[in-house]
Chain A
Amino acid sequence: MTDFLQLVFSGFATGSIYALAALGFTLLWQASGTINFAQGEFVMLPAFMMLAFGAAGLPLPLAFIATCVVAVGVLGWAFKRGIADPLLKHGLMPIVVATIGLAIAARNGIRAGYSAEAHPFPGLFADKLFNVFGVTVTLADVGTLVLALLLVLGTQAFLNKTVTGRAMQAVAQNTESATVLGINVPRMIFYTFAINALLACAAALLITPTYLAKFDMGEGLGNKAFFAAIIGGFNNSRGALLGGILVGVCENLAAAYISPAYKDAVALVIFMAVILFKPQGLLGKKVERKV
């Protein structure tokens, strides 16, 4: 039983990071209809930015803040203006292809600059162990889980409780009505892109000590976050949290009780099951479209 709990708990920590990346997927989709297949690379790039700032002498917290500023500019503003805005006019397909291309370019760019080797990344939390009912829990796992949950719930609260958040939701639900109501639509969409960039920075900070900073670290992460977002419901931000944690925990259990070789297939299997029986996702709402 303790083994089971141990696996479930460490699955929660990994799953909460999938949830952060998955939340980015759902936010961008809701606000602007963008599907960003470079989401994994959006986590990888801040990890290397933090390494670069760290190498320049900044301590980790300052490196993180500096990375957030750069990320909002590059992964938020520049991504929106340079790729999302011009391509969205032509439908969804061009943007999907463009973000896949962007992912390849980001991976190879980092590989050219930083080599294909893995780089160590400083941990945010000290090496501390606790023993709760026979389950060994580390400060890093608890910290990751708590921080990730706070970020997801904080984003939720921001969207639901603040004027700006509600305006963003209004834009997501009906752009034309929002414009009529006097909401600055482009600005609200930019806010979404900025939040996505910040979530990616936080995910990078939490996950890189384990994943190690490597040019292809975002590949698996991006895929799993995408599956997690669909499992939870692509049009529901809370769904991202549920989907992420579900994937993280099931992966860990499959690795222990079936075989580590099947671990990466778990997300895909749940994804297929959900698509078959509840296509809108576990928490998603059915959306009807007029033709």
Chain B
Amino acid sequence: MPIIRRTLIGAACAVALTLPMLAQAQAIKIAGLYELSGAGASAGTMFKNGVDLAVKEINAAGGILGKKIEHSIADTQTNPGVAKGQAAKAIDDGAFAVFGPVFSGSIMVSMAETQRAEVPNFTGGEAAAITQKGNPYIFRTSFTQTTAMPKVAKYIATGLKAKTVAVMFVNNDFGKGGRDAITKALEANGVKVVADISTDSGQVDFSAPVLKAKNAGADALFVYTNEEESARALRELRKQGFTKPVVGETTLTGQKVIDLAGEAANGATAHVGLTVDAPNPLMLKFKAKFYQETKTIADHNGIKGYTGVYVLKAAIEKAGKLDRKAVAQAMKGLSVSAAKQPGVLLDVSFDDKGDLDRESFLVEVKDGKQVVKEVLPPLSRK
């Protein structure tokens, strides 16, 4: 009898010990590689908060295919080398999917690791080159520059009726990709680029670039820099009394930029793929939830992180099994409607390269808030 009892106790202990391991094995591991410090801290933190919120909601609603998500977080320090190392570590740790990095320069380097290991990788990077390398495991959470810039150029040419434009860009992969795309798109619309002004990532003093922009005498200025630099550029533009229209793409009118630039942000216009001020009940609900969780208003990066997780959920459900290859395959040509999967906020469709298409917005900053001027339809609908 004592032997049976001892065996039973032993078996119970063994079961108790293996239970957490079983739970862990069943969880869907998402590895987050975010810019939590360095020049990309604003963007990375927002993206991470968006992913966090989506993971929390999905887990509360029972997970994906009945399995909970486990979200691990690593700081890339906005350093491509660090990001690559962390991508390798995430794969060693058995990540089912990788989210981030957000900066184009980092994802271009780190995605080699996820591609090799055949792990789906969702990025916030917007540089056109990311999806042009033929990596079947890379998926965007926002527009590529080659989709967004023609929309901006069209607005500059027909909306502002500008004949000449000065282009101010940040000298990194994101900025250079954007500069090339906008220059091409402007030329196609018959607008001449009269000044090509390079700035540095992390630049503090914008007096010299703004002076160059003023002296260019262009009809409008296109600014394409990261969040903090955009805020400093806007402040300096106001300081030096720049009166021509200032146009941007996504970052220029982001909430973080508005917070940092204060009144100087008023009047700036931009094409944005995502904005919490979109006239859309799902987006407004997301804005409120995000604020409740983080006490900050989400910018496009917050929405990118949040919707990215729901797109992954839709892809896993479409594949019907937790298989990385099958999920990556399911992403090709995936169309998710917000009516069926409210977490994606806006109807979205993916092509076979990992680029996405959805409606977008033309916004202007008025009294410290983004105001939607126009809703632009998805490219495929035109």
Contacts and interface: CB of A to CB of B under 8 A. Distances in A.
B200 A263 contact: yes
Interface residues of B, number: 33
Q: Which 9 A-B pairs have the closest CB atoms?
A: A256-B208, A116-B37, A116-B41, A255-B208, A10-B207, A138-B239, A120-B260, A136-B240, A118-B228
Interface in A257-282: 259-261, 263
A116 B240 contact: no
A72 B217 CA distance: 49
Given A6-B211, A140-B239, A260 B41 contact: no
A220 B240 CA distance: 25
B1 to A, nearest CB: 57
A215 to B, nearest CB: 8
Interface string A227-269: 0000000000000000000000001100110011101000000
A166 to B, nearest CB: 38
12 contacts: A6-B240, A115-B45, A118-B41, A118-B260, A120-B262, A129-B239, A138-B239, A210-B235, A220-B204, A252-B205, A255-B209, A261-B200
Interface in B224-281: 228, 231-232, 235, 238-241, 256, 259-260, 262-264
Contacts of B209: 255, 260
A21 to B, nearest CB: 14
A48 to B, nearest CB: 15
B329 interface: no
A288 interface: no
Contacts of B262: 120
Contacts of A259: 198
Given A6-B211, A116-B36, A116-B38, A260 B199 contact: yes
B42 A261 contact: no
Nearest to A107: B37
A7 B45 contact: no
Given A118-B228, A127-B263, A129-B241, A260 B211 contact: no
Interface string B1-40: 0000000000000000000000000000000000011100
A14 interface: yes
A210 B208 contact: no
B22 to A, nearest CB: 35
A212 B208 contact: no
B205 A10 contact: yes
Interface of B: 36-38, 41-42, 45, 171, 198-200, 203-205, 207-209, 211-212, 215, 228, 231-232, 235, 238-241, 256, 259-260, 262-264
Interface of A: 3, 6-7, 10, 14, 111, 115-120, 127, 129, 131, 136, 138, 140-141, 210-212, 214-216, 220, 251-252, 255-256, 259-261, 263
Given A115-B45, A138-B239, A261-B200, A212 B231 contact: yes
Given A3-B215, A116-B41, A260-B208, 19 more contacts: A111-B37, A116-B38, A117-B41, A117-B256, A118-B42, A118-B228, A118-B231, A120-B260, A127-B238, A138-B239, A210-B205, A210-B235, A211-B204, A212-B232, A252-B205, A256-B211, A260-B203, A260-B209, A261-B171
A108 to B, nearest CB: 9
B205 A136 contact: no
B116 to A, nearest CB: 30
Given A7-B208, A252-B207, A212 B200 contact: no
Nearest to B258: A120
A242 to B, nearest CB: 20
Q: Most A CB atoms within 10 A — which of B171, B200, B204, B232?
A: B204
A157 to B, nearest CB: 30
A214 B37 CA distance: 10
Contacts of B239: 127, 129, 136, 138, 140-141
A263 B238 CA distance: 23
B228 A212 contact: yes
B52 to A, nearest CB: 14
A14 to B, nearest CB: 6
Contacts of B232: 210, 212
Contacts of A3: 211, 215
B241 A260 contact: no
A214 B38 CA distance: 10
A274 to B, nearest CB: 23
A116 B208 contact: no
